Structure 1
Amino acid sequence: MGLLRTILIIALIYYGLKILSRLFAPMLFKYAAKKASERFGGGFNQQKKEPIQKEGEISIDKMPKNKSSNKNVGEYVDYEEIE
């Protein structure tokens, strides 16, 4: 009698969790997606707002730093391909 009762309890818990997961899984996924979108910068559906420019207009946001080239970086080595 004890074995049958244990098997029945395990089966009820299994099917109960299965039904509850079908009810609450969509809400859990929506919550997880909302939290992930907040963490990654405000949402997946929001587009980055950029200033509207007319066609052909150029704007420079950041000036490049002056880079000096070093001529003593090494020597050129020629190579052959071996087939």
Structure 2
Amino acid sequence: MLQAASFTGFLRTILIILLVYYGIKILTRLFAPFLIRYMSKKMQERFGGSFQEYQNQSQPKHKEGETVIDKVPKQDNASNKKVGEYIDYEEID
């Protein structure tokens, strides 16, 4: 069975597609400011929380005037004995 498409069915389909498109476009314009405001609040809370954590960690935990060493340097200053092969030589005059 083969059904033929009617012109009115085609127009109805095009009309529905256009109504859905413009409906989404209008709803986006109405709700976009609320959505953006909500997202910016969430981002502000997230970054504000991480900033507060950083501030709490960076506060000094020692008295004023006290010398504090945060990082101890490595003690690996010994020379490397396996630099190369030793070659004994004689001077020729």
Q: Deviations over 1:53-77 (max 9, x none)?
A: 23xx422244333213325586xxx
> Normalized per residue, which structure has more helix?
2
User: What's the secondary structure of 2:50's corresponding residue?
Assistant: coil
Give yes or no for the alignment of 1:43 onto 2:50: yes
Compute the TM-score of the two structures, normalised by the length of structure 2: 0.50
Aligned to 1:59: 68
Compute the TM-score of the two structures, normalised by the length of structure 1: 0.54
Identity %: 19
Q: Deviations over 1:36-67 (max 9, x none)?
A: x38xxx5225522113523xx42224433321
Give the one of 16, 23, 28 matched to 2:34: 23
Report which of the two structures shows the higher radius of gyration computed on alpha carbons: 2
Structure 1 segments, 4+ long, off by >6 Å, are none
Higher relative contact order (CA 8 A, sep 6+): 1
CA shift for structure 1 position 33: 4.2
User: What's the secondary structure of 1:44's corresponding residue?
Assistant: helix
